[in-house]
Amino acid sequence: MAGRRCASRAGLGVVLLLAGLVGCGGGAVPDTAAADVQRVLDRRADAVLDRDEAAFRATGAAAGAGTGLANLRDVPLAAWSYRLAGLSRSGDRATARAELRYRIAGYDAAPVEVDRTLRLTRVRGTWRVTSDEPAGKGGDQLWDEGTVTAVRGERSLVLGVGQSGERLRAFAGLADRAVPAVSDVWGADWSRHVVVLVPKSLEGMAGLLGAPASGYRGIAAVTTGEAGGPAGAPADRVIVNPDAFGVLGDLGKQVVLTHETTHVATRARTTAATPLWLSEGYADWTGYRGSGRTPGQVAPELRRAVAQGDVPAALPEDEDFGFTGDSGGLARAYEGGWMACRLIADRWGEVRLNDFYRAVGGHRERAGAVEDALREVLHTTPERFGALWRQYLRDQLG
């Protein structure tokens, strides 16, 4: 009697998460691929934290292992780990979906969590990593784009790729001056330090944001972070567009870093209830505070509109702040928000401006947030405030 044969299907990929396979004898044969891959990722994470090049190479295949440890060597890491979320396998090749959790020492109160796709091959019975990349449309990490250089300021950490040490030290100086300037206005209830990422180019900035470069052309910097995030959230990152930033003068560079640092400071009080005219206007107001610049110098687009009799009918809407290519409209939106915050500081005082910002962000939803804060903090109405703002534009920019 002929022996029973097991059928095989070459090249068929099967998702394996510690599942059991039925063997030729009919019994369950446990598949250990997922557990084996997790152990490899654990060893890889330990090698990153220990800066152990030999151990790191041992987790990679002969053809390479994606991002080299050298790219990360200068990053002050306090934690680095992978959690396997899924494994698709075909013979000796596999693709893993994993959550990378890392924390920058002295800056991140909680781990940053990003999704990664790792490809592996099995060499003499051992799984080895061949690539480690952002998953799906997720953005790069800075070390995905090259070797990171770190410069530590008194109140800042600047991480750059393709930048000279001199230029990174200049960013640290700007950030170190921005932090006390923001604290002088907002207060001390924030981390009072900032992380600045300086990629090689506009394309590098777009890669970090997982977005097309065209949407950020002319934008000098942006800040990423969780709106309304708790005190234990990871530190925000200020991401610089070196192309646009490089053409600014000394004052412009300082205003941009102070503006972005303001977003870091106010993040926990900036929620879905906060309109962009307030969050961006407040950041600009802080950035220009004490600069000696006149409204006409800071708001040239609005000044031209007012001179032509085209005074805006209402405060800017959120969609007016979109990076759509209409640079004039975007400038007027920022300038209008800045003038609104300047009006509050001039008429009611800086303390009331802060109280107003916190009151709006503390509202449970967008509807009624500004209206309630106007009534409770400034003792006015949306209609009255709108009229005051339009007259303020005429008086200051006419």
Q: Identify which of 195, 194, 216 has the alpha carbon closest to the alpha carbon of residue 205.
A: 216
Q: What is the pLDDT along the chain (398 residues), one digit of tens a residue?
A: 444 333 333 333 333 343 333 334 444 445 799 999 999 999 999 999 999 999 999 999 754 444 579 999 999 999 999 999 999 999 999 999 999 999 999 999 999 999 999 999 999 999 999 999 999 888 999 999 999 999 999 999 999 999 999 999 999 999 999 999 999 999 999 999 999 999 999 999 999 999 999 889 889 999 998 776 666 688 899 999 999 999 999 999 999 999 999 999 999 999 999 999 999 999 999 999 999 999 999 999 999 999 999 999 999 999 999 876 677 889 999 999 999 999 999 999 999 999 999 999 999 899 999 999 999 999 999 999 999 999 999 999 98
Angstrom distance (rounded) from CA 282 to CA 342:
8
Q: What is the pTM of this model?
A: 0.89
Angstrom distance (rounded) from CA 96 to CA 87:
5
Q: Is 256 exposed, middle or buried (0-12, 13-18, 19+ CB in 10 A)?
A: buried
pLDDT of residue 88: 96
Residue listed under structure tokens 């107001």: 285
Angstrom distance (rounded) from CA 70 to CA 61:
17
Helix axes 350-361, 165-186, angle to 10 degrees: 100
pLDDT digits (tens, 9 = 90+) for 139-155: 999 999 999 999 999 99
Residue listed under structure tokens 């687009």: 301
Q: Identify which of 233, 222, 226, 205 has the alpha carbon closest to the alpha carbon of residue 103.
A: 233
Angstrom distance (rounded) from CA 55 to CA 57:
5
- What does the block give as tokens for 283? 């950041």
Contact 234, 259 (CB under 8 A): no
pLDDT of residue 325: 62
Query: Domains in the chain, ordered, with CATH?
Result: 30-136 (3.10.450.50), 139-268 (3.30.2010.30), 271-398 (no CATH)
